A and B are shown apart, each in its own frame.
Chain A
Amino acid sequence: MTNHWNDYQHSDVIMAIGGNTAENHPISMKWIEKARETKGAKLICVDPRLCRTAAVSDIFVPIRPGTNIAYLGGLINYILENEKYHREYVENYTNAPYLINENFSFDENTGLFTGAEDDPVRSATKYDMTDWQYQTDADGNILKDTTLEDPNCSFQLLKKHYSKYTISNISKMTGAPEDTLRDSYEVFSSTGEAGKAGNILYAMGITQFTHGAQNTRAIAIIQLLLGNMGIAGGGVNAQRGQSNVQGATDMAILYHIIPGYNPTPQQTHATLEDYLAATTPEKNWWSNRPKYIVSLLKAFYGDNATDANDYGYEWLPKLDGLDHSHIPAYKYMRDGEVEGMICVADNPLVGGSSSRAKLHYQKNLKWLVSVDVVENETAAFWKGPGMNPAEIDTEVFILPAAFSYEKEGEKANSGRWIQWMWKAQEPPGDAKSDLWIVNEMFKRLKALYEAEGGVVPEQITKMHWDYDGVGGEIDIVKVCMELNGYRVADGSLLTNFVGLADDGSTACGNWLYSGYYNNLENPATKKRIKEKEGIGFNRDWAFAWPLNRRVVYNRASCDLEGKPWNPDVPVIWYDEAEQRWVGNDVPDIPGSWDFEYATENPFIMNPEGVGKLFSIGYQGVGGLRDGPMPTHYEPADSPVPNLLYPQATFNPCSQRFYEDHTVETDEDRQKYPHIATSYRLVEHYQSGSVTRNQPWLNEMMPEMFAEISEEHADELGINNGDYILIESKRLQSSDDGEQGNIKVKACVTKRIKPMLINGELKHLVGMPMHWGFMGMNTGASANDLTPSVGDANTTIPEYKAFLCNVRRAD
């Protein structure tokens, strides 16, 4: 999130799109309701189902799964056509006036941008982005037209691109009635007025698509056009589905980054100098990258990291240019390349796409380590459905772990608040905290290499690892100090990342966390002072990265003179008398910047210094590989042609790994005619491994089901509570060689309606994703049906829009 939960109270209009916040983040409703009660805020819910959020919304816009860009593109068009944008903001704080290379174009027939070429590695399209650049003068300064009238300026290109996204077209594509679309566009675009705040909150119903990153981009464009970034009650607010998914991302439990959102080195970056040259822009915040990287290497390799050895850079593994996220990682397992897996509190055999196929791929593992509080499906795969244990040679090690309140440490919530958890009791039996487990696992591995040698043992033995406490326990404070950062000379803690250096004099495991453990007596993360007066930012409660800033890009909450757009809820302002920025939040303005520079660069992470309506890489930062403007492509499993671009279908740059895996022919469309989506329930959590083992929750939500409409039930001749079989292309092509299905109870409901898509009536099937074959409460997994096809930029699977067939189970 750019903002935070309590901040929702300041919104005038809240749009929940691709996220059922009332069900999945129930306490968020406390702050949404406060905005409605105190200032008459409106709630718009955009979702395929009449979900719990929709049920309490002012406007419910039912859209077909996979048509978010159509819906949001329609809103962009509405804002531009009806001049609802915040003119002063758009002109000064975005790249709207920037001129784009004249060779740049978009083909409305093929749906492709300039520079498209074949990408044999991913059986997809890739772009030569040479023409996706700003026009510059001889000195490299970007050319601008502040009248926003030049046909090559970002603003006009945006206007042209979205001119086809008319309400009539959007209604045909999404299935939403024209009047409802118009109402929602009118209400949300009313926040383009200075002093008004529009908030867009979303979850996996935005990200889990082959065009998921572009969905998010579309949200960002809208919020920039309406001047909703940086202000209280505004923002692009990703509602995180897990307690520390923000933190696990910050710590880079992801192949493509190392802690603090720094890219993982590629094999093309032979030396530290090569890496820094390729990834460090000349201007603005990321120009500090060398300080963060050298300090990270010092934290990693300690005294073994010296100027002479590039601070141990050679020991960091270098990527091969290929994708190593979980879809291809399981494919590498299928192909026999992956032989071992360490799975910590994760359960891909329920939570991952095409999970039935993954069950079979795991037979190729020589060894599997599962660290969890229960025996989950991934650990128990060898006795799963259709498995013959005698034929499976995988060694399985299950390590019993502590639950959250049985250990201490911090978790970062969606608002980036790094909150401390104190330990309430010991874990049961031999169970141990993950912190203890990783410490012991690594120490044994290191000892083995020290005793026996091996291949490049230095990669392991030179890693700084000194976290032992007393009595065989790990000392968490040592880890906290390393994450926070310290001066190498005397070990003293850094106040924040401003003190980091690129000369080896500081060590810091994650620059964004610098300041969270700023002293040993009362570290910021442990602060528990609830605000008595103020605007709900609670600056003395925990620590928000970066620098305890509660709303990022908050310079944009003020006009060019430094006065808040909304004086009733001022985030920061420029104090003329004191000649400095002050306010309710930590200003998002580096101390060394003067007033003018800060005003010209409100979006400090971008080398351009402004928000990007037209998104391209500049000085090595930003840009998406599938186009500078979000474009409607169908999901990979699509029931209809692409109405806007006749020769286009799904995202041409999407990450495809398996042949004959998605529905692309008319024959398949007849076989799998229904649109399906998956979601969560308040009573269960993710793969259900923990919640399906709790009697109270099982009593409330005892069984897997699928929601279908009354019309659909009539066609099938079934009643509420009857069993149905659901099939998808994935089970047709699964490795067990048989046409598979999942058997679930039908929940016949008015919450789901058939959708009128371009004149054709289509059925929608909705399924929760929590069930599997282990635990107190077992049931079929919705993810057996979902495709392992990934977003063009992130490779997140397309869980939220796929096709299926439904039959009666006789």
Chain B
Amino acid sequence: MQLTRRSFLKLTGAAAATATLAGMGLNTASASAAYPLRIKYTKEVPTICTYCGVGCGIICSVRDGVIVNAEGDPDHPINEGTLCSKGSSIFNVSYIYEEKGKPIVNPKRLTKVLYRAPGASDYEEKDWDWALDEIAKRIKDTRDRTLVETVDVGGRQVTVNRTNAINWLGSAWCTGEENYLFHKMARAMGVINIDHCARL
């Protein structure tokens, strides 16, 4: 029987521990003895790498609702378990290690709604309800003052329902479902200045 990388790992837990820790630049001989296997008792959740357009598979190992490890999905037909340096580090977006080796939430992650008032030198923390209502008011105010309803095209009044006063910049980070709804929302607002990373 030819062993796939995956069945090999399943057969040899110690080797798996070595492989994982070696990827982190630790001394594998002593590390495998000193630390328990990080992905022990975890649930595997498959995801797709969020960086380039190759679309590599990543397996997130989750314990008690928290990702404890992320590495290449050996069952994925494109990357077959391999990842680049960014993909291999993707766990770092959520968690970084303190000096003693304990994972903490990456301090640069945004965890609160923030608002910066005109002329202010810092943000205030806000809740979602407040922010969503205020944003709706800003959009409505701008849209209602600037919406062009009709224009004359060759002597004919044409309904155009557009505003040039709002820019919508979207993203290739977002999923298809998210972008579809973003598109619907932007067009519903009459927005015509729409662009994203494909051109930016």
Query: Which of chain A's residues has its CB closest to B75's CB?
Result: A530
Q: Is the Cβ of B180 less than 8 Å from the Cβ of A259? A: yes
| A residues in contact with B200, CB < 8 Å | 326, 346, 348, 351-352
A493 to chain B, nearest CB (A): 15
Interface of B is mostly: mixed
Interface footprint category on B = 35 or more
CA distance A693 to B116 in the complex (A): 22
- 0/1 per residue, B89-109, Cβ < 8 Å to A? 110111011000000011011
- 0/1 per residue, A700-724, Cβ < 8 Å to B? 1000000000000000000000000
Q: Is the Cβ of A454 less than 8 Å from the Cβ of B110? A: no
A544 to chain B, nearest CB (A): 11
Q: Is the Cβ of A479 less than 8 Å from the Cβ of B195? A: no
CA distance A674 to B163 in the complex (A): 42
Q: For the complex, is A185 an interface residue (Cβ under 8 Å from B)? A: no
Of A252, A319, A352, A395, the contact of B115 (CB 8 Å cutoff): A395
Q: For the complex, is B8 an interface residue (Cβ under 8 Å from A)? A: no
Of B56, B136, B169, the contact of A444 (CB 8 Å cutoff): B136
| B residues in contact with A530, CB < 8 Å | 75-77
Query: Which of chain A's residues has its CB closest to B125's CB?
Result: A430
Q: For the complex, is A763 an interface residue (Cβ under 8 Å from B)? A: no
Q: Is the Cβ of B116 less than 8 Å from the Cβ of A270? A: no
Q: Is the Cβ of A247 less than 8 Å from the Cβ of B172? A: yes
List which A293-327 residues lie within 8 A (CB) of chain B: 300, 314-320, 324-326
CA distance A408 to B174 in the complex (A): 10
- 0/1 per residue, B133-168, Cβ < 8 Å to A? 111111110111011010101001011111111111
Q: Is the Cβ of A403 less than 8 Å from the Cβ of B94? A: yes
Q: Is the Cβ of A324 less than 8 Å from the Cβ of B158? A: no
Known: A394-B118, A435-B181. A418 touches B176 (CB 8 A): yes
- 0/1 per residue, A17-42, Cβ < 8 Å to B? 00000001111101000000000000
| A residues in contact with B118, CB < 8 Å | 392-395
| B residues in contact with A338, CB < 8 Å | 164-167, 193
| B residues in contact with A268, CB < 8 Å | 153, 158
| A residues in contact with B169, CB < 8 Å | 326, 341-344, 346, 348
| A residues in contact with B197, CB < 8 Å | 241-242, 245, 248, 346, 351, 686
Known: A258-B183, A690-B93. A253 touches B161 (CB 8 A): no
Q: Is the Cβ of A419 less than 8 Å from the Cβ of B48? A: yes
Q: Is the Cβ of B109 less than 8 Å from the Cβ of A320? A: no
| A residues in contact with B45, CB < 8 Å | 405, 422-424
Of A243, A329, A351, A410, the contact of B177 (CB 8 Å cutoff): A410
Q: Is the Cβ of A254 less than 8 Å from the Cβ of B167? A: no
| A residues in contact with B7, CB < 8 Å | none
Q: Is the Cβ of A425 less than 8 Å from the Cβ of B50? A: no
CA distance A659 to B163 in the complex (A): 26
Q: For the complex, is A337 an interface residue (Cβ under 8 Å from B)? A: yes
Q: Is the Cβ of A241 less than 8 Å from the Cβ of B79? A: no
B19 to chain A, nearest CB (A): 17
| B residues in contact with A245, CB < 8 Å | 53, 172, 196-198
| B residues in contact with A375, CB < 8 Å | 108, 110, 114
Q: For the complex, is B34 an interface residue (Cβ under 8 Å from A)? A: no
Q: For the complex, is A434 an interface residue (Cβ under 8 Å from B)? A: yes
Q: Is the Cβ of B52 less than 8 Å from the Cβ of A25? A: yes
B46 to chain A, nearest CB (A): 6
Q: For the complex, is A177 an interface residue (Cβ under 8 Å from B)? A: no
Q: For the complex, is A151 an interface residue (Cβ under 8 Å from B)? A: no
| A residues in contact with B192, CB < 8 Å | 255, 264, 317, 319-320, 324
Binds B, one of A129-137, A364-372, A728-736: A364-372
Q: Is the Cβ of A399 less than 8 Å from the Cβ of B131? A: yes
Q: Is the Cβ of B111 less than 8 Å from the Cβ of A318? A: no
CA distance A343 to B175 in the complex (A): 15
B80 to chain A, nearest CB (A): 7
Q: Is the Cβ of B173 less than 8 Å from the Cβ of A345? A: yes
| B residues in contact with A314, CB < 8 Å | 159, 161
CA distance A467 to B58 in the complex (A): 28
CA distance A351 to B54 in the complex (A): 21
List which B32-69 residues lie within 8 A (CB) of chain A: 45-58, 60, 62, 65-67
Q: For the complex, is A433 an interface residue (Cβ under 8 Å from B)? A: yes
Q: Is the Cβ of A400 less than 8 Å from the Cβ of B193? A: no
CA distance A693 to B65 in the complex (A): 23
Q: For the complex, is A445 an interface residue (Cβ under 8 Å from B)? A: yes
| A residues in contact with B10, CB < 8 Å | none
Q: Is the Cβ of B119 less than 8 Å from the Cβ of A391? A: yes
Known: A267-B160, A351-B200, A697-B85. A344 touches B54 (CB 8 A): no
Q: Is the Cβ of B172 less than 8 Å from the Cβ of A244? A: yes
Binds B, one of A66-74, A138-146, A456-464, A753-761: A456-464
B49 to chain A, nearest CB (A): 6
Q: For the complex, is B26 an interface residue (Cβ under 8 Å from A)? A: no
CA distance A28 to B51 in the complex (A): 14
Query: Which of chain A's residues has its CB closest to B59's CB?
Result: A424
Q: Is the Cβ of B108 less than 8 Å from the Cβ of A463? A: no
Known: A415-B55, A448-B137. A374 touches B108 (CB 8 A): yes
B3 to chain A, nearest CB (A): 16
Q: Is the Cβ of B67 less than 8 Å from the Cβ of A405? A: yes
Q: For the complex, is B29 an interface residue (Cβ under 8 Å from A)? A: no
| B residues in contact with A340, CB < 8 Å | 138-139, 142, 165-167
CA distance A270 to B157 in the complex (A): 8
Known: A242-B173, A399-B113, A445-B140. A325 touches B180 (CB 8 A): no
| Chain B residues within CB distance 8 Å of chain A | 45-58, 60, 62, 65-67, 70, 75-80, 82-86, 89-90, 92-94, 96-97, 105-106, 108-121, 123, 127-128, 131-140, 142-144, 146-147, 149, 151, 153, 156, 158-200
A-B contact pairs, 14 of them (CB 8 A): A267-B160, A318-B161, A325-B195, A329-B195, A338-B164, A338-B166, A367-B135, A375-B110, A393-B119, A429-B109, A432-B128, A438-B182, A445-B139, A454-B140
Beyond the given A314-B159, A333-B167, A531-B77, could you list 8 further A-B residue pairs with CB under 8 A, ordered by the A residue number? A27-B83, A245-B198, A253-B182, A320-B162, A340-B138, A430-B111, A479-B181, A530-B75
CB-based closest 7 A-B pairs: A429-B111, A240-B53, A413-B55, A409-B175, A253-B170, A242-B172, A345-B171
